[in-house]
Structure 1
Amino acid sequence: MKKVIMGLSLCLLMGLTACSNGGKKNTTDETTTSSSISKEQSEKYEAAIDDGKQAIVDKEISKAVASFQLALEYKTDDREANQLISQAELYQEALALTEDKEYAQALKKLTKLKETRGGSTALKQYGTNLTDKISKEVKAEREETKKRKATEESKQAEKEKNSTEESKEAEKKEETDPSKEAAPAANSLWNAQKSSALGAFMISWGQTMGQAYIEYSPSSELDYYGVKFPSTFAAGNIAVNGAPASVQWSTDGSASNVYNVVAIYSDVHTTSAMERHLYLFAIYNGQPVALVTMQNQGNNENLIYFTPTQNADLSNGFAQIIGG
């Protein structure tokens, strides 16, 4: 009887040992399989990221975005992949806007790309290059517009001159004298040539300051926090050095005792920074003055407060242009 009991006990002990060993083997197999899958996903993730970065170098931006999106399938919500996708898409959008000549919107996208931390330095450099390209295109278009306008004005002046000659034969010699015809335009406080010079200056000065400025005028008004410039001048809501001032849009800067605004520039639509600038380039009693405001809220006086700029390079540059 004792032998039977001992035999049963031995079998039971061997069975428990076998079960225990079998359980350990299964657990080990599962761990090995899980580790293998994790390693495989990590390798595929790294390969997708590397492919995307190479596509950026090759300037195949759509291919780069696709690679970074593939990386997210292997590592969901990965910060690096999401950041690279965001930068690549900003650059793509800026390219498309530039092709459509939507320069202000393109510069917004490029500013946002430039301000992102980390990510692709190559994409940021592409953004810088595109910003320079936009500046050159804006300058070229402005020059072309100035030339076209000057040609139209010249034709109109010639037409008026001929009409005057027909009705006033006695003044024919004086009116057809080329030196007298050209002198007022060349010596005036403000003209097309000086406007063009200021445009070129603002591009180079803006790049020095890390800013991008757009020119505004009655035919292309600025929406500055809901206030339209220059049409708002008629409302008398401009203050200079803390006091209400007489301000008007001018094409020659010749009126007395009033700020004759001959040019308006702002970066309000090209930056995401809190500090945004609005410059009024004016002539007051023959003297150039560059007024600036960064006001972004209303007040009880319903005034927009301007002061002369403290930037010596800007004020001196404007003064030199006015001095001819």
Structure 2
Amino acid sequence: MWNNQKNEQLASFMQKWGPTMHQSYEQYDGQNELKVSTGITYPDGLSKELVEGQSGLIGWAPSGKGDYEYNVVAIYNHDGTEPPLPNRITYFFAFHNGKPVVLVDQSNNGDPDCHPTTNTDLESNFERIANQ
């Protein structure tokens, strides 16, 4: 479902897309923890992540196949610099029931909570890459 070539295509897309949103994104590289401004580190933080209020549904699965409802293949984070701080936008690129989905978490206090993104450009490009 997911491989290095698709991961590189997503990275290339994110490098071009981020500036259109006036943001820059750091990618979880699969080895070194990705720490966000709220103090959470990923991928370990996925275990604390709620998906639309439910726990235990999301986890790191670099092939796209795993034991989770949402099998995450890529994580990208942008830490904001404008108050109120801390603030962040963290995207989880995942497969849900074998279909690509992009979840976003913008929580800045309390429990991490993500939901499907409303950004159709991001969603459609991930789907395009995933389905190649």
TM-score, normalised via structure 2 length: 0.88
> What is the CA distance between 1:223 and its match in structure 2?
1.4
CA distance in 2, matches of 1:245, 1:290: 17
What RMSD in Å do the two structures reach over aligned CA positions?
A: 1.6
1:263 paired with 2:74, answer yes
* CA displacement, residues 39-62 of structure 1 (integer Å, 9 cap, x when unaligned): xxxxxxxxxxxxxxxxxxxxxxxx
Superposed displacement of residue 256, structure 1? 5.2
55, 61, 69: which one aligns with 1:250: 61
1:220 aligns with 2:29: no
Q: Which has the higher helix share?
A: 1
Preserved contact between residue 246 and residue 258 of structure 1 (Cα < 8 Å): yes
Percent of paired sites with the same residue: 38
Which residue in the other structure is 1:317 paired with? 125
Partners of 2:51 and 2:58 within 8 A in 1: no
Paired residue type of 1:273: E
The runs of at least 4 consecutive aligned structure 1 residues that moved more than 3 Å come to none
- 2:43 is aligned to 230
Q: 1:193 aligned to 2:1?
A: no
Cα contact 1:250–1:261 (8 A) shared by 2: yes
CA distance in 1, matches of 2:14, 2:100: 16
In 2: Cα distance, 1:239 partner to 1:200 partner: 28
More strand per residue:
2
The answer to whether the 8 Å contact 1:257/1:285 transfers is no
CA drift of 1:240 comes to 1.0
> Following the alignment from structure 2 to structure 1, what is the Cα–Cα distance between the partners of residues 44 and 29?
9
How big is the shift at 1:221? 1.2
C-alpha spacing 1:209/1:192, structure 2 compared with 1 (3 Å): same
Task: Compute the displacement of 1:237 (Å).
Answer: 1.6
Match of 1:286 in 2: 98
The SS at the match of 2:95 is: strand
Count of matched residue positions in the alignment of Structure 1 and Structure 2: 128
> Do 1:221 and 1:230's aligned partners in 2 also have CA atoms closer than 8 Å?
yes
TM-score normalized by structure 1? 0.38
Structure 1 residue 210: Cα displacement: 1.1
- Distance across 2 between alignment mates of 1:290 and 1:245: 17
State the distance in 2 between where 1:257 and 1:195 align: 20
Aligned to 2:23: 211
1:165-219 Cα offsets, whole Å, 9 max, x none, are: xxxxxxxxxxxxxxxxxxxxxxxx1000000000000011111111111101441
Distance in 1 (alpha carbons) for counterparts of 2:95 and 2:101: 6
Q: Greater CA radius of gyration, 1 or 2?
A: 1
